[in-house]
Chain A
Amino acid sequence: MIFLAPWVLLGLAALPGLYFLLRLTPPAARRIVFPPMRLLSGLPQAERAAQRMPLWLLLLRLCAAGLVILGLAGPALHPPAALPGSGPVLLVIDNGWAAAADWQPLMDAARQVVGSARHAGRGVAILTTARDAGGGAPVIQGVMTADQAAQAIDALQPLPWPVDRPAATAALRNAGEGTRIYLADGITDGASFSEFMKALNPARIIAAGRDKNLLLPPSFNEHGQLVAHAAGAAGLSVLAETATGAVLARAAFSKSGDAGINLPLPLANRVGRLVLEGPASAGSVFLLDSGTHGSLVGLAASGAADTPYLGALFFASRGLPASSQVITGDLASLIAEKADVIILADVVLSQAQQQMLSDWIAAGGELIRFAGPLTANMPDGLTPDPELAGDRRLGGALTWTRPQSLAPFPAGSPFAGLQVDGGTTVTRQILADPTRLDVGTVWAALADGTPLVLGKPVGKGVLVSVLTTANADWSNLALAGIYPALLERLIGLGARVPVHRNRVLPMLQALDGFGKLQPPQPGVAGVSARDADQIAVSPSQPPGFYGIGAAGLALNLGGHVALPVAAVLPAAEPLGTPRGPEDFGAALLLAGMWLLALDLLISLWLRGLLRWRGAVAALGIALVLQSPAQAQVPPGNVPPAALQTQLAYVRTGDPQTDQTSADGLGYLSALVSARSSAQLGPPAGVDPARDNIDLYPLIYWPVLSDAAAPSGKTCSALSDYMQHGGLLLIDSQGADAGAPGSGAGFAPGAQTALSRATSCLNLPPLEPLTTANAIAHSFYIVPSFAGKFVGDPVLIASAAARDVDGVTPVIIGQNDWAGAWARDANGDAEQTPLPGGEDQRVVADRFGANLVIYALTGDYKSDQSRLPAFLDGLSQ
């Protein structure tokens, strides 16, 4: 044990003086009102000095004073360990991306070293091995006092790029003699690590023992599924988050470091970043840009499009990148299903279809048209440049020319950089009108200069015209190795401004060392898409988002730094749980203060100013203030719902669903409590067969697609509940039949599960819920009854089957309302409503609030719907 301020202990010498002083001072007199004063007058007066302070009170006061002095002297357990050697201490700290995972223990170790140096009165020099944000090479920050060093360490942050071993080696070579302590992140960061160790030695090494995890660029597997890759992350999980941080999916890594993220494509495209669970670092975050987003590609052709080897789209559908998902159908259904890209192979368009398509392109769609015999003779207006009717044949029996190969792609074209192979030839094509041709729209041409691919942005979208067929009829392009590469470049242009591959993109947001997005530092060089793959992350090109407007490019550590390789560190000490000096002076001070407070009470009592009851009350108040506020416990066996109104949900046995229900109803309760005068408690999970459900105004019953038929007791309890004023909300969470956007397919078998679950219920006749019902305006005015999905119909009891007040006892739907309501502990939404996103969630929340108010108040608002009629009647 040591004292941080030992000179305060001199105060203990004053204690004997205090002793005599206290002995000399008699306790203050009590004042007593007493009627028989006459009887007291003239009684012999005793010696005044004889009245001494009682010994126990004297000891109490001395004890209190002693405790205060000891507490101020700052006693501490576990003094800092002694440092080897003498002279200043050089502290070498790895502060690259790999140190972030162990940052807190590393900093604790550094503070412990500085504490030891302070205790020994030695100076400290600090060398951080990563380049600073301005790109400056590591330098030794000269010998400073331990206090300055502690401030410098407090200001240190891990940086989102690798350490610079060669520069650190150079700095170490120039360092003087002295004790060296190396706080290592545990990876080599390149080949020059042995040089670095040579320059460092001899040194005491403290190493972070944790495996360094680095998320690598994800890929798409053959099913179009996003697959995350990582180095050293076996057994961990990865979270797929939206750009705003909402978690869409969670997947565990296999032994080989792969994790397939199981999301439908529309959701997969909303994934903005992958985050590795575990300690936060820049390496455990992977930002996704539009390049990693899959596209929904709609294919349409006239005739049998998928006939093997002959069909118009046989090759195109196989040449599409793995990240895209293919749908087929007529034009209207493709647009309705929100395809990102539509490929038309030799389709003749009516005027109405042209208009529909050009509107769709202007809103962000990408249309790729292949030519063919049907369209060759009747060119329409929906092309980048006017085309000539008829076609041009090359290398046939009646032509002089040979089939033409491709010319190298022009620099402004999206294909720029792809290598043309000479074997690709075109034997037949249609021609763009050369007199009205805009050279900038030619994205690919034949060797004789004839345009082959025309394209230009239109509105927010892109219109591309390939002047030959999508199959092998007119050219062997569809058989060439370059065909998938061309399609990959084409897919992904829609709705995103085409990335100019040579243009330097400025930084939008930067990742910090802990993987959080921050505003960028000034002076950061931009990157261009062309050489994005070769960039090594550095202070001048830190990881983060680059881009202009919507065209973004994400630069991540994964793929742009060396893979982490565990460093061989001889005689390295592990990062233990550092035990800094434990200062318990505050506890002694507190004890001293308590004794002084007790002394005050005793003094008051001795003077008669305090009755016993008052003393007990004061002590009680002090104890209550000392102890944390106790929660009020409901007395006896009263169910909590009887004391505070609660919503309830039926437990399904599936923990995920139950948690979602609890979170959803919890948010709803908080919303209604905040917005209205109803005060709701946290929701309760109930089993209707066993629990008493009479006390809940609203019960939410999620019916899972694999749910078994409910037991007889459950049925009778729920039927009873419905008949006696309860409101039961049955939600099959995505039905297998319904309107577009109903979530059909998310829960196959839901419809049969619903009929199975409700077969034994005594359900009234049902009718669809419309916005004319009081539920639509009991609190908010809601335009629809959306939840996580927007399927219709939502069913309620028919008017004849409602109770006297016209309140329905049951609502049946399939919109997974709890999924839309659910917020996690931080208030972030847990699931994403489809297709409307946050706007749809607002509607869902309002519908939920309406439901609660409806359940609590009945139909008092239904008069409102008849108000116009009333007013009409009054005015006549």
Chain B
Amino acid sequence: MTARIAAAESLAAGLPKLLMAAERLAHVAAPGAHGRRRPGPGENFWQYRDFRDGDDVRRVDWRRSAGADRLFLREREWEAQASISLVLHDHAGMDYRSAAALPSKRERAILLLLALASLLLRAGERVALAGKTPPLTGNAALRTLAAAFINGGMARIDPKSRVIAFGDFLEAAPVFYAPPGGAVVQVLDPAECDFPFSGRCIFDGFAHEPEIEAARAEDWAAAYRARIAAQREAVVQAAQRAGQTALFHRTDAPPAGALAALYQALSAA
């Protein structure tokens, strides 16, 4: 676990702290560390404004008002905190790797997930592992998150938090239920994308499906590639329908690229 955290942190170290756009977090009620660039409850000075009728007299800033002939109020910046749920869509097929040198899809997904969590935590965000941990803050929370992968856990899912989902999403007709503003990261093995098999092959799945025999596997390659492309398209469509950003990652590609794409998707706008 320590090695996994170290890998994730070293991956995340390459990117600046991830700060979500305040506007994208407007609906989040809980106050937090995000400066929302508008007056409200907070700790940092925002602006002085003239006293208006109906304002509480106790809020008058007498020191500022003494230097002029008007009354001023001291306003603070409204700070809010994002809550982000990270989800790993896990099943037996995630164990797949086509070559010993490649990581399995699960390993890669967890690496990306923890790297993202590390970035978010350093930015002061509240990060939860959906269904397993409550929203957590602080750098030390990364260990708790990683431990939850191994030990499991039970926690209420915050329905309003943004969701970033990792998985291979190979099921028929993928659907995403999440508040808009999240992201969907599809992680696939290169063999699943390219179908590099030839000759007589017998295919066997992870979930006790019946075996499928191909007399000449190379004949199937074109048809398969069309199907996998359609599947990826279906994932993108479903994500867009749910207001999510769809991202794609192959396990033979460097993980830093995927993290950079995630960073851009979350901090954009």
A36 within 8 A of B: yes
Chain B, range 210-247, C-beta contacts under 8 Å to A? 212-216, 219-220, 223-224, 227-228, 231
Pair A35/B216 contact, Cβ less than 8 Å: no
> In chain A between 591 and 636, which residues have their CB closer than 8 angstroms to a CB of chain B?
606, 611
A46 within 8 Å of B by Cβ?
yes
Please state if B205 and A35 are interface contacts (CB–CB under 8 Å).
yes
| Residues 22-78 of A contacting B (Cβ, < 8 Å) | 26-41, 43-48, 50-51
Q: Is the CB of A34 within 8 A of B219?
A: no
Please tell me if the beta carbons of A48 and B215 are within 8 angstroms of each other in the complex: yes
Q: Which of A27, A39, A606 is the one whose CB lies under 8 Å from B231?
A: A39
Find B206's partner among A29, A33, A41, A45 (CB 8 Å cutoff): A33
Chain B residues in 8 Å Cβ range of A32? 197, 201-204
**CB-CB nearest in chain B for A41:** B212
**Chain B residue contacts of A606, Cβ below 8 A:** 199
Whether A37 contacts B200 by the Cβ 8 Å rule is no
B205 to chain A, nearest CB (A): 4
Complex Cα–Cα for A43 and B203 (A):
13
Instruction: List the A residue with the shortest CB-CB distance to B203.
Output: A34
Also in contact, A35 and B168, with CB within 8 A (given A40-B220, A611-B100):
yes
Please name all residues of chain A whose beta carbon is closer than 8 Å to the beta carbon of B216 when the two chains form the complex: 46, 50-51
* CB closest chain-A residue, reference B223: A43
Cβ contact of B212, chosen from A27, A30, A40, cutoff 8 A: A40
> How far is it, in angstroms, between the C-alpha of A41 and the C-alpha of B93 when the chains are bound?
17
Q: B192: nearest residue on chain A (CB-CB)?
A: A36
Tell me which of B170, B172, B214, B231 has the highest count of chain A C-beta atoms within 10 A of its own C-beta.
B214
B206 near A35 with CB under 8 A, answer yes
Q: Is B23 an interface residue (CB 8 A)?
A: no
Partner of B227 from the list A31, A33, A39 (CB cut-off 8 Å) is A39
Partner of B170, one of A27, A29, A36, A48: A36
Flag if A35 contacts B192 (CB, 8 Å): yes
CA of A51 to CA of B216 in the docked complex: distance in angstroms? 7
Residue B55 lies at the interface, judged by CB distance under 8 Å to chain A:
no
Please state if B201 and A30 are interface contacts (CB–CB under 8 Å): yes
The answer to whether A33 and B96 touch across the interface, beta carbons within 8 angstroms, is yes
CA distance A288 to B46 in the complex (A): 126
A30 / chain B contacts, CB cutoff of 8 Å: 197, 199-202
**Other-chain contact of B204, A31, A39, A47 (Cβ < 8 Å):** A31
Pair A26/B206 contact, Cβ less than 8 Å = no
Residues of A within 8 A of B197 (CB): 30, 32
Interface string of B74-111 (1 = CB under 8 A from A): 00000000000000000001101000100000000000
Distance in Å: Cβ of A257 to nearest Cβ of chain B: 80
State in angstroms the CA–CA spacing of A34 and B172 once bound together.
16
Contacts of B56 in A (CB 8 A): none
For residue A852, give the distance in angstroms from its CB to the closest CB of chain B.
52
Q: A35-B206, A41-B212, A611-B100 are in contact. Are A51 and B199 (CB under 8 A)?
A: yes
How many angstroms between the C-alpha atoms of A459 and B206 in the bound complex? 101
A43 and B213 form a contact (CB under 8 A): no
Q: Does B209 contact A (CB under 8 A)?
A: yes
Q: In chain B, what residue has the closest Cβ to A49?
A: B215
CB distance from A614 to the nearest CB of B (A): 11
Contact A33 B205 (CB under 8 A): yes
CA distance A608 to B189 in the complex (A): 18
A45–B200 contact, CB under 8 A? no
Interface centre among A32, A35, A47 (most CB of B within 10 A): A35
In the complex, what distance in Å separates the CA atom of A235 from the CA atom of B191?
Answer: 82
Q: For A35, what are the chain B residues with a Cβ–Cβ distance below 8 Å?
A: 93-94, 96, 168, 170, 189, 192, 205-206
- CA gap between A45 and B202 in the complex, in Å: 12
Q: Beta-carbon contacts of B247-258 to A below 8 Å, as 1s and 0s?
A: 000000000000
Q: Which residue of A lies closest to B225 (CB)?
A: A39
A54 to B204, CA, bound (A): 25
Contact between chains at A31 and B202 (CB < 8 Å): yes
Determine how close the nearest CB of chain A comes to the CB of B230; give it in whole angstroms: 9
Q: Is the CB of B199 within 8 A of A36?
A: no
Check B202 against A46 for contact (C-beta < 8 Å).
no
Q: Which residues of B contact A28 (CB under 8 A)?
A: 200
Task: Decide if B215 touches A34 in the complex (CB within 8 Å).
Answer: no
Given contact pairs A31-B202, A32-B197, A51-B200, A39 touches B170 in the complex (Cβ within 8 A): yes
Complex: A39 Cα to B194 Cα, angstroms: 13
A688 to chain B, nearest CB (A): 57
What is the minimal beta-carbon distance from B55 to any residue of chain A, in angstroms?
Answer: 63
Which residues of chain B are within 8 angstroms of A40 by Cβ–Cβ distance?
203, 212, 214, 220, 224
Within 8 A of A (CB), among B120-146: none
Which residues of chain B are within 8 angstroms of A33 by Cβ–Cβ distance? 96, 203-206
Complex contact A37–B215 (CB within 8 A)? no
A45 to B207 alpha-carbon distance, docked (Å): 23
Write the chain A residue with the least CB distance to B91. A35
Question: For residue A43, which residues in chain B have a CB less than 8 angstroms away from its CB?
Answer: 214, 220, 223-224
A27 touches B206 (CB 8 A): no
- Of chain A, the residue at the smallest CB distance from B168 is A35
Given contacts A27-B200, A37-B203, contact A46 B219 (CB under 8 A): yes
**A683 → chain B, closest Cβ, in Å?**
51
The residue of chain A having its C-beta at the shortest distance from the C-beta of B204 within the complex is A33
* B215 CB contacts on chain A under 8 angstroms: 45-48, 50-51
Query: Once the chains are docked, how many angstroms separate the CA of A30 from the CA of B98?
Result: 14
Given A26-B200, A30-B201, A51-B200, A37 and B209 contact (CB-CB distance below 8 Å): yes
**A-side contacts of B100, CB under 8 Å:** 611
* B109 CB, nearest partner CB in chain A, Å: 13
Q: Could you say which of B170, B203, B206 has the most chain A C-beta atoms within 10 Å of its C-beta? A: B203
Q: How distant is A769 from chain B, measured CB to nearest CB, in Å?
A: 66
Q: How far is the CB of A612 from chain B (nearest CB, A)?
A: 10
Q: Quote the shortest CB–CB distance from A39 to chain B (angstroms).
A: 4
**Chain B residues with Cβ under 8 A from A27's Cβ?**
199-200
Residues of B within 8 A of A36 (CB): 93, 170, 192, 228, 231
A44 CA to B213 CA in the complex, in Å?
Answer: 11
Given A43-B223, A43-B224, CB of A37 within 8 Å of CB of B212: yes
- Taking a contact as CB atoms under 8 Å apart, the answer to whether A34 and B170 are in contact is no
Chain A residues whose C-beta falls within 8 Å of the C-beta of B207 in the assembled complex: 37
CA distance A428 to B216 in the complex (A): 129
Chain A neighbourhood of B203, CB < 8 A: 32-34, 37, 40
Please, which residues of chain B bring their CB within 8 A of the CB of A31?
201-202, 204
Nearest CB in chain A to that of B218: its residue: A46
B212 CB, min distance to chain A CBs, angstroms: 5
Contacts of B191 in A (CB 8 A): 34
Give the distance in Å from the alpha carbon of A419 to the alpha carbon of B209 in the complex.
Answer: 120
A47 neighbours in B (Cβ, 8 Å): 215
**Chain B residue with Cβ nearest A33:** B204
Contact with B along A78-103 (1 / 0, CB 8 A): 00000000000000000000000000
A39–B215 Cα distance when bound, in Å, is 17
Shortest Cβ gap from A158 to chain B (Å): 68
The minimal Cβ–Cβ distance linking B42 to chain A, given in whole angstroms, is 49
User: Least Cβ distance of A782 to chain B in Å?
Assistant: 63
CA distance A36 to B230 in the complex (A): 13
Of A34, A46, A51, chain B has the most CB atoms within 10 Å of the CB of A34
Taking a contact as CB atoms under 8 Å apart, the answer to whether B172 and A38 are in contact is yes
Smallest Cβ-Cβ distance to A30: which chain B residue: B201
State in angstroms the CA–CA spacing of A38 and B203 once bound together.
11
Q: How far is the CB of A615 from chain B (nearest CB, A)?
A: 14
Within 8 Å CB of A46, what residues of B? 214-216, 219
* A34-B199 contact in complex given A29-B213, A39-B170, A39-B228, C-beta closer than 8 Å: no
Q: List 26 A-B contacts (CB under 8 A).
A: A26-B200, A29-B200, A30-B197, A31-B201, A33-B203, A33-B205, A34-B96, A34-B192, A35-B93, A35-B192, A36-B170, A36-B231, A38-B170, A38-B172, A38-B209, A39-B170, A39-B224, A39-B227, A40-B203, A43-B220, A43-B224, A44-B219, A44-B223, A50-B215, A51-B199, A606-B199
- Beyond A30-B200, A31-B204, A40-B220, 8 additional contacts (C-beta under 8 Å) are A26-B200, A31-B201, A32-B197, A36-B93, A37-B209, A40-B212, A43-B223, A50-B215
**4 smallest A-B Cβ distances: which pairs?**
A35-B93, A37-B205, A29-B200, A48-B215
